[in-house]
Amino acid sequence: MNKVYPDADKAIDGIIDGTVLMLGGFGLCGIPENCISALVRKGVTNLTCISNNAGVDDFGIGLMLQKKQVKKMISSYVGENAEFERQLLSGELEVELIPQGTLATRCMAAGYGIPAIFTPAGVGTEVAIGKETRTFDGKEYLMEYAFEADFAIVKAWKGDTDGNLVYRETARNFNPLMAMAGKVTIAEVEELVPAGMLDPDHIHTPGIFVHRIFQGADYEKRIEQRTVRKK
């Protein structure tokens, strides 16, 4: 099975209006920049995006929000995006905010084939409205379903032609969990090498989870909030 695609535009083939997408990254770190740009060029709409956050106004998923491509955001944090705020308050965008750990674990459950999880996060809050609860050892837990995503789009540092992936430092974040969880997983990498060139002990995502891979280009790698030491 040839998993290698020439570029992002070819790799996102099959993503159509109404698709449910997982997008890796945390803030602006480790986001699939090339695939997001390709989705903007393609102009698909009515998307449901599962992502830790919505980027910023002019970068990441924020670019898709500007083009009104996103119908619903499922996220844990969205505080850096003014356009997101405007669409939320105006009723243009449907939003489901969930605790960050719950977001990660629902991704993991999807990858493991587990239909639901139980978590104490959100018990007694608005997050729990309409959800089933169970009591274990005297403590109440919410039942949360595993995500069902048509595509997972992730970004890695290195990958090989079999789809094995290596992430670098903080860019590891949500990417490994989401790579396991999509019905079709698309990986963009900074460096694509022949199969067998990666040290097996350093592989974070085995190629069995990855269906499409390509070498990206022109990564900006922006820093969302720069903190420096005073002199």
Judged against a pLDDT cut of 90, whether residue 55 lies above it is answered with no
Distance from the first to the final alpha carbon of the chain? 55
- Residue of 215 and 221 predicted with greater confidence: 215
For 113, the token pair is 């084939």
Do 30 and 205 meet the contact criterion of CB atoms below 8 Å apart?
no
75 near 54, Cβ under 8 Å?
A: yes
Residues 6+ apart with CB under 8 A from 169: none
* Percent of the chain at pLDDT exceeding 90: 81
Token pair for residue 20?
């449910």
Identify the band that residue 28 occupies on the pLDDT scale cut at 50, 70 and 90. confident
Judged on CB neighbours under 10 Å (0-12, 13-18, 19+), 182 is buried
Stronger pLDDT, 138 or 229, i.e. the higher one: 138
> Of 226 and 105, which is predicted with more confidence?
105
The pLDDT value given to residue 218: 85
- Per-residue pLDDT at 136: 96
Work out the pLDDT band at 221, boundaries 50, 70, 90: confident
Q: Taking the model in full, what pTM does it have?
A: 0.91
Looking at residue 30, its pLDDT comes to 92
Instruction: Please give the residue that has the higher pLDDT: either 222 or 26.
Output: 26
pLDDT tens digits, one per residue of 90-122:
999 999 999 999 999 999 999 999 999 999 999
Residue 222 confidence (pLDDT)? 75
Residue 166 bridge partners (DSSP): 158
Question: DSSP letters along the chain, please?
Answer: ---B-SSHHHHTTT--TT-EEEE--BTTBT--HHHHHHHHHHT--SEEEE-S---BTTBTHHHHHHTT-EEEEEES--TT-HHHHHHHHHTSSEEEE--HHHHHHHHHHHHHT--EEEESTTTTSGGGTT--EEEETTEEEEEEEPP-EEEEEEEEEEEETT--EE--GGGGTTHHHHHHHEEEEEEEEEEEE-TT-S-GGG-SB-GGG-SEEEE--------SS------
pLDDT category at 1 given cuts 50, 70, 90 is: confident
CA distance 98 to 221: 26
In this prediction, residue 196 has a pLDDT band, given cuts at 50, 70 and 90, of very high
CATH number for 8-116+147-215 (one of 3.40.1080.10, 3.20.20.140, 3.90.950.10, 2.40.37.10): it is 3.40.1080.10
CA 109 from chain centre, in angstroms, equals: 15
pLDDT of residue 132: 95
pLDDT band at 85 (very low <50, low <70, confident <90, very high): confident
